[in-house]
């Protein structure tokens, strides 16, 4: 954090404990006996979790090192700190009833200690540990006979350079990659220099016919509920999500296969929480698990309007010990992500919202990030319609209509 940012933070917040900087005006009386639940990370997922939390008897806490992050102003207690730092996470979690994450890059050793001391963690640190490292994650699928693309492990570039015979393949950093960064397609031996000089997975390139996500909810008792599968349509040039549609239109038998695999992944991870299982389907209807996120996920934003219990609502039900909600969809939905336009950096300006909001069943979510940058996730728009063609038409229309510039 820059000195300037930190100074700004201290103007708005006062120090309560060594590691806790808490918002004064939203403090909950010490006598409150509501469950105390913390979120590690204060991005848009944290923000949407807090929007859902407002409906429940709970006191919310957020740990994040940016005092202007999307979730900072929606929680009861905001703590300034680094989610990757052992002490920051441990001090934050000590005394809370439960903790969840909105991003995987958190200090898992602190979570393990907190868990041993009785704090409930969603997902369990043991599950997080498997998922956080792409090598461990692939080995987990292999050990549990969960279909995933064939892979091998490379520790450095020298090891990668020996694998020309394994191409075309996809090279993925074991740790530190996010949102397509840390993923490199390697089609031919000439492209080997683009690979990573650090522990990575090299996996066979799947001929992707469809990319599907299945969000699964698991209660403390092990009850599970699946949301309808989501069809994620990618822009192959930019490797970013173009739009997504739910429920995905899949032949019934293929859908069963996808759902059975997603269930198996989550059962074997053996943890309560929300999980997003991402899968590839090839032209022969073979299904491969790509990766799993042990948290609320960007593929499930539409569940806010399109499903009876959203993924965010569901996680509070799980953490507060209430029955699982209904995952059924009310109406089919599409989501368009609002990414910062190329060529614009600075205070965000939103173009086209008026027209978008003038369309029936269109819902705007702006994440409250002050500054836009090319490709930064600034918000999303959900469209509901019973007609698949109308969904795709509106998704494309809104994609061209709404722009985030500066």
On the 0-12 / 13-18 / 19+ scale of CB atoms within 10 A, 375 is: middle
Q: Would you mind telling me the total number of residues written for the chain in this entry?
A: 406
Structure tokens, 232: 């994620």
d(CA 305, CA 400): 22
Using CB under 6 A as the binding rule, whether residue 178 contacts ligand ADP is answered as yes
Candidates 183, 324, 331, 364: give the one binding ligand ADP (CB under 6 A).
Answer: 183
Place of tokens 């008026």: 354
386 exposed, middle or buried (CB, 10 Å; 0-12, 13-18, 19+)? Answer: exposed
**According to CB under 6 A, which one of 234, 390, 393, 406 is a site residue for ligand ADP?**
234
Based on CB atoms, which residue is closest to ligand ADP, 180 or 321? 180
147 sits near ligand ADP (criterion: CB under 6 A):
no
Answer for which of 82, 197, 268, 291 binds ligand ADP (CB under 6 A) is 291
Task: Based on the shown chain and the rule CB under 6 A, indicate whether residue 346 belongs to the binding site for ligand ADP.
Answer: no
Q: Which residue pairs from 176-179 have beta carbons closer than 8 angstroms and sit at least 24 positions apart in sequence? A: 176/105, 177/134, 178/103, 178/105, 179/377
Stretch that binds ligand ADP, among 26-34, 180-188, 304-312, 354-362 (CB under 6 A): 180-188
Question: Is residue 177 a contact point for ligand ADP (CB under 6 A)?
Answer: yes
- The number of CA neighbours under 13 Å toward the Cβ of 189 is 5
**Nearer to ligand ADP among residue 59 and residue 149 (C-beta):** 149
Which of 211, 259 has the CB closer to ligand ADP?
Answer: 211
Task: List the interface residues with ligand ADP, window 236-275 (CB under 6 A).
Answer: 239
SS3 68: coil
Q: If binding is defined by CB under 6 A, does position 324 make contact with ligand ADP?
A: no
Q: Count interface residues toward ligand ADP (CB under 6 A).
A: 18
Q: Select from 130, 206, 266, 404 the one that contacts ligand ADP (CB under 6 A).
A: 206
Identify whether the C-beta of residue 362 lies closer than 8 Å to the C-beta of residue 394. yes
Instruction: List phi, psi (to 5°) of 148.
Output: -150, 160
Evaluate the CA torsion angle 235, 349, 295, 332 in order and state its sign: negative
Backbone angles phi, psi at 337, to 5 degrees: -80, 140
Q: Among 98, 170, 274, 281, which residue interacts with ligand ADP (rule: CB under 6 A)? A: 170
* Closer to ligand ADP by Cβ: residue 149 or 154: 149
Q: How far is the CB of 344 from ligand ADP (least distance, A)?
A: 24
Is the Cβ–Cβ distance between 248 and 229 less than 8 Å?
yes
290 binds ligand ADP (CB under 6 A): yes
Q: Which residue is nearest to ligand ADP (CB)?
A: 206
Q: Does 353 bind ligand ADP (CB under 6 A)?
A: no
Q: Where does residue 112 rank: exposed (0-12), middle (13-18), buried (19+ CB within 10 A)? A: middle
Site string for ligand ADP, 11-50 (x = CB under 6 A): ----------------------------------------
Phi-psi region of 163 (alpha: psi -120 to 50; beta: other; left: phi over 0): alpha
Residues of this chain that interact with ligand ADP (CB under 6 A) are: 149, 170, 172, 177-180, 182-183, 203, 205-206, 208, 211, 234, 239, 290-291
């Amino acid at each position: 954090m820059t000195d300037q940012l930190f100074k700004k933070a201290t103007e708005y917040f006062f120090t309560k404990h060594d590691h806790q900087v808490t918002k004064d005006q939203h403090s909950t009386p010490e006598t409150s006996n509501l469950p105390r639940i913390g979120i590690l990370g204060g991005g848009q997922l944290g923000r949407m979790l807090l929007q859902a939390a407002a409906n429940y008897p709970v006191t919310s806490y957020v740990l994040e090192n940016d005092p202007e992050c999307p979730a900072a102003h929606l929680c009861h207690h905001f703590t300034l700190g680094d989610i990757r730092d052992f002490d920051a996470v441990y001090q934050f979690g000590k005394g809370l009833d439960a903790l969840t994450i909105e991003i995987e890059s958190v200090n898992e050793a602190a979570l393990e200690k907190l868990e041993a001391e009785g704090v409930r963690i969603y997902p369990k640190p043991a599950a997080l540990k498997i998922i956080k490292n792409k090598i461990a994650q692939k080995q987990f699928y292999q050990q549990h006979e969960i279909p995933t693309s064939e892979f091998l492990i490379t520790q450095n570039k020298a090891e990668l350079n020996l694998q020309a015979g394994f191409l075309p393949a996809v090279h993925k950093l074991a740790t530190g990659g996010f949102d397509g960064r840390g993923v490199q397609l390697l089609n031919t031996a000439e492209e080997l220099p683009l690979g990573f000089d650090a522990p990575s997975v090299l996996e066979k390139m799947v001929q992707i016919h469809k990319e599907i996500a299945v969000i699964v909810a698991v209660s403390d008792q092990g009850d599970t509920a699946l949301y309808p599968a989501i069809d994620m349509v990618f822009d192959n040039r930019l490797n970013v999500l173009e739009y997504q549609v739910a429920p995905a239109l899949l032949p019934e038998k293929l859908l069963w296969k996808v759902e059975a695999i997603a269930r198996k992944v989550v059962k074997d991870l053996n943890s309560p929480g929300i999980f997003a299982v991402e899968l590839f389907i090839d032209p022969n209807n073979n299904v491969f698990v790509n990766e799993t996120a042990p948290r609320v996920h960007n593929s499930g934003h539409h569940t806010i309007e399109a499903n009876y219990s959203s993924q965010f609502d569901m996680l509070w039900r799980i953490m507060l010990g209430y029955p699982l909600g209904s995952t059924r969809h009310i109406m089919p939905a599409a989501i368009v992500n609002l990414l910062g336009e190329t060529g614009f950096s600075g205070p965000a300006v939103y173009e086209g919202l008026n027209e978008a909001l003038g369309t029936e069943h269109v819902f705007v979510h702006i994440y409250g990030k002050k500054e836009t940058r090319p490709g930064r996730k600034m918000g999303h728009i959900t469209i509901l319609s019973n007609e698949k063609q109308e969904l795709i038409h509106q998704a494309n229309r809104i994609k061209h209509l709404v722009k985030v510039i500066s």
